[in-house]
Amino acid sequence: MSIEDKIILKIRDLSVSTDGNQILNGLNLTVKKGETHAIMGPNGSGKSTLAKTVAGHPDYLITSGKIKFLNKDLSSMSVNERSNLGLFLGFQYPIEIPGLSNTAFLKAAINAQRKFYDLEDISAHDFLLQLKSTADQLGLDQSFLSRGVNEGFSGGEKKRNEIMQMLMLNPKLSILDETDSGLDIDSMKVVARGVNSSRSEDSSTIIITHYERLLNYLVPDYVHVFFDGKIIKTGNLELANELEKKGYEWLIQKK
C-alpha cells in the first residue's frame, strides 16, 4: 500500500470565508486510516467552520487550498456524495425535523448510500434489526425511533442520535463536533463506547472537543490546538491534559 492509499483526509493550505469574513487561514491537516485526531481550541477559532466546510455546507467558501478525501478532490462534490463516499459529520447543534421520523430518515440515508454503491435497498427486516440493536447499544428508547428527527430531544439525546446515525452509516471518516458538550458522565461514556466500537484499521475519527474527559476514553493519536483558523500546535494526550490545566492562553502568547 502506498502512502497515498493510507491517507483518508488531506487538507492543504485551506482558507475559508463566510459572509465575507475570513475564518480559516491556511490550515494543514493529514489524517491517515485508523487514526484518531482531537481538535481543541477556544470558541470562535473556526473548528465548526472546518467541520462544515469538509462536509460541504454552502455557506462556506473555499478561497484557497485543497481538501482531498480518499484521494478525491472534495471541492466539486455535493454534500450527499461526500456522505456516500464515507464522510460523516456529527453536528454540534443537530437539526430538528418535525414530521420526518427518525426511522424513515435513517432508512432513506442507508438506502441512498446503498444506491450509490449499486446495491439494492436494505430489507425491512435487516434494517429494523440493525436499528434496534444500535439504539439499544446507545441506550435510546424505541420510542425515539418513531419520533420526528431530533424533535423535542434533549441535548444529550440529540448527541446520542448523531452517534446512532454514525454507527448505522458506518463511515470511513467521522468528524464529531463537540459531541460531548452538555453530556453528563453516563451519556459521555455511552458516546465514547459508541465511538470506540466504530473504530477500525480502515476508519478514522476527528473529535472536536473542549474537554479532556472524552479524550481519556478515546485516547487520540494526535491532539491539535486550533487558533485563529489554523493549527498552532500538535501533540498527544499529554497536551490535552496540559490544556485542561492551563487553558489556551500560554500557547497563544508563546505564538
Partner 1 sequence: MVNSKKIKSLFDNSKLDLNLSLSSEYPVWFQDFKQKSLDRFKEHNIPSVTDNEWKYTKIDSLLELLFNREVLNRIDPKELPDKNIVSDKDAICIHFHNGQYFASSDLPNHIKIFSKTHDKDIFKNLFKSDINPQRSFLSDMNSIIFSDTLLIKTLQNQKVDTEIHIINHSHYDSIIAPRVHIHVAENSSLKIFEHVKSSTQSVISHLMTIFCEADSNLEFYKLIEQQKDTHFLSTQTAQMAENSKVNCFSWDFGAKTSTTNTLAELDGKKSEFHYSALFTPSHDHHSGNQLRVEHNANKTKSRIKIRGVLNDQSKGVFFGKIKVNEDVLGTSAFMENKNLLISDDATISTQPILEIYNDDTECSHSATSGSIDEEKLFYIQSRGIPEIAAKQYLIGSFIKELINEITSIKIKTLLQNNFQYIDNQS
Ligand X SMILES: Nc1ncnc2c1ncn2[C@@H]1O[C@H](COP(=O)(O)OP(=O)(O)O)[C@@H](O)[C@H]1O
Report the interface residues with ligand X, using CB under 6 A.
18-19, 21, 23, 41, 43-49, 59
Closest distance to partner 1 from the beta carbon of 160 (Å): 16
Candidate segments 43-51, 60-68, 97-105, 131-139, binder of Mg ion by CB under 5 A? 43-51
Closest distance to Mg ion from the beta carbon of 44 (Å): 8
Closest distance to ligand X from the beta carbon of 23 (Å): 4
Q: Identify which of residues 106 and 183 has a Cβ nearer to partner 1 in the complex.
A: 106
48 binds Mg ion (CB under 5 A): yes
Q: Is the CB of residue 110 less than 8 Å from the CB of residue 127?
A: yes
57 binds partner 1 (CB under 8 A): yes
Q: Label residue 253 exposed, middle or buried (CB < 10 Å: 0-12, 13-18, 19+).
A: exposed
53-67: b or e for each residue (b if 16 or more CB lie within 10 Å)? bbbbeeebeeeebeb
Instruction: Choose the contact partner of 185 out of ligand X, partner 1, Mg ion, none; CB within 5 to 8 A by kind.
Output: none
143 binds partner 1 (CB under 8 A): no
Closest distance to Mg ion from the beta carbon of 101 (Å): 28
User: Beta-strand (E) ranges in 33-167?
Assistant: 36-40, 61-69, 72-73, 87-90, 97-101, 148-149
7-20: b or e for each residue (b if 16 or more CB lie within 10 Å)? bbbbbeebbbbbee
